[in-house]
């Protein structure tokens, strides 16, 4: 591999920060330490791009390596082919702006920069598939469970977004499930709402319910329901995608020990053998996944 193709920067764009890491694509290792810079998505465009520029400049200058490849993970809506943000709820100030061109014009000391883009959930999926818990799996469905539900359908370490074996765009959040949609059925909102239905008690999220699991019958019931519901929803997609591995990330996945038994029981009752895995890369997965856009 050419020296300037050996390395790539992986960038994870969040609503309150940018996090970047330099990745050795040959060894799958992060070089040095990731760099995180706070910047609120409601800021003016100049503030946002200044923060992103300084973050990348600091990372690349500290490395002293010939870096030309920058992979960026963005939430949608975003034109991932052209690098143009169409978000309105987040990063409204950069709506319609070409991100790569804008950053390259500010990073003139780094020549011939190449930018690639991926959905943030897709980046997470690629990270775990290329470097993490699913690196030996040919096919894997990845779900990120938190304030919403993100997804990535990965075959041979590439995201699959089209075809009969995946939902439109490879995104599950808007799919119907029971009386609502997936985003309502498996997100933090469902956990909070269901626990209040069972107990009348308001909690902030899955972590609070998990803490009560050993002594609280309602917590056990909630996670049992969650596991069975997850099996019910994923079974048709595992079959369509001809996949035997489900990998879960996001805040709710940290409670996987509380719902993995009913989840696996649901698969067994359907006659399926499915390996369920939790993220091992955690907050680094999206950065590594964005960098992996330059593999192969």
User: What pLDDT shows up at residue 89?
Assistant: 86
Mean pLDDT score of the chain, rounded to an integer? Answer: 95
pLDDT tens digits along 97-129: 999 999 999 999 999 999 999 999 999 999 999
pLDDT confidence bin for 28, thresholds 50/70/90: confident
pLDDT at 1 over 80: no
pLDDT band for 5, please (50, 70, 90 cuts): confident
In this model, does residue 4 exceed pLDDT 80? Answer: no
Give the 3-state secondary structure of residue 148.
coil
Question: Given strand 7-13, what is the order of strands in its sheet?
Answer: 29-38, 17-24, 7-13, 69-74, 114-119
Handedness of CA 81, 127, 111, 37 (dihedral sign): positive
Angstrom distance (rounded) from CA 234 to CA 239: 9
Distance CA 141, CA 238 (A): 7
φ, ψ dihedrals at 140, nearest 5° = -150, 140
pLDDT in tens, 138-163: 999 999 999 899 999 999 999 999 99
pLDDT of residue 191: 98
- 15 confidence band (pLDDT: 50, 70, 90): confident
CA neighbor of 264 nearest in space, from 234, 221, 220, 222 = 234
- Residue pair 121/289 in contact (Cβ under 8 Å)? The answer is no
In this structure, CATH architecture of domain 3-122+285-294: 2-Layer Sandwich (3.30)
DSSP secondary structure code for residue 172 in this structure: -
Rounded Cα distance between 161 and 118, Å, is: 11
Mean pLDDT of 66-83: 94
Domain boundaries of the chain, sorted by first residue: 3-122+285-294, 137-278
188-199 helix and 217-240 helix, angle to the nearest 10 degrees? 140
pLDDT category at 66 given cuts 50, 70, 90 is confident
Q: Which CATH class is domain 137-278?
A: alpha beta
The arithmetic mean of pLDDT across residues 54-63, rounded, is: 96
8 Å CB contact between 153 and 119: no
pLDDT tier at 284 (50, 70, 90 boundaries)?
A: very high
Q: Which tokens belong to 262?
A: 């009913």
Task: Give the N- to C-terminal CA distance of the chain in Å, as an integer.
Answer: 10
pLDDT of residue 3: 67
In the DSSP assignment, the letter for residue 107 is: -
Please work out, in degrees rounded to the nearest 5, the angle formed at the alpha carbon of residue 149 by the alpha carbons of 52 and 25. 50
Distance CA 142, CA 283 (A): 15
């Amino acid at each position: 591999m050419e020296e300037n193709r050996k390395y790539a920067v992986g960038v994870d764009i969040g609503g309150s920060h940018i996090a970047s890491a330099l990745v050795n694509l040959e060894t799958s290792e992060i070089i040095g330490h990731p760099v995180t810079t706070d910047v609120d998505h409601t800021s003016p465009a100049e503030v946002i791009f200044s923060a992103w520029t300084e973050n990348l400049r600091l990372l690349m200058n500290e490395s002293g390596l010939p870096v030309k490849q920058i992979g960026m993970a963005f939430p949608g809506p975003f034109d991932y082919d052209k690098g143009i943000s169409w978000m309105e709820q987040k990063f409204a100030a950069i709506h319609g702006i070409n991100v790569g061109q804008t950053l390259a014009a500010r990073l003139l000391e780094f020549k011939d920069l190449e930018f690639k883009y991926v959905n943030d959930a897709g980046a997470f999926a690629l990270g775990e598939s290329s470097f993490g818990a699913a690196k030996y799996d040919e096919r894997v469905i990845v779900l990120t469970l938190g304030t919403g539900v993100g997804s990535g359908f990965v075959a041979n370490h590439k995201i699959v977004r089209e075809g009969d074996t995946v939902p439109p765009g490879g995104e599950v959040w808007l799919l119907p499930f029971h009386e609502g949609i997936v985003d309502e059925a498996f997100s933090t909102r469902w956990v909070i709402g269901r626990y209040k239905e069972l107990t009348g008690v308001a909690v902030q999220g899955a972590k609070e319910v998990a803490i009560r699991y050993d002594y609280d019958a309602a917590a056990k019931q909630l996670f049992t329901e969650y596991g069975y519901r997850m099996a019910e929803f994923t079974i048709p997609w595992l079959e369509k995608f001809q996949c035997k591995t489900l990998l879960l990330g996001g805040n709710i996945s940290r409670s996987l020990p509380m719902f993995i038994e009913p989840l696996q029981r649901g698969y067994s009752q359907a006659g399926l053998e499915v390996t369920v895995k939790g993220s091992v890369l955690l907050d680094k997965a999206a950065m590594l996944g964005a960098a992996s856009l330059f593999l192969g």
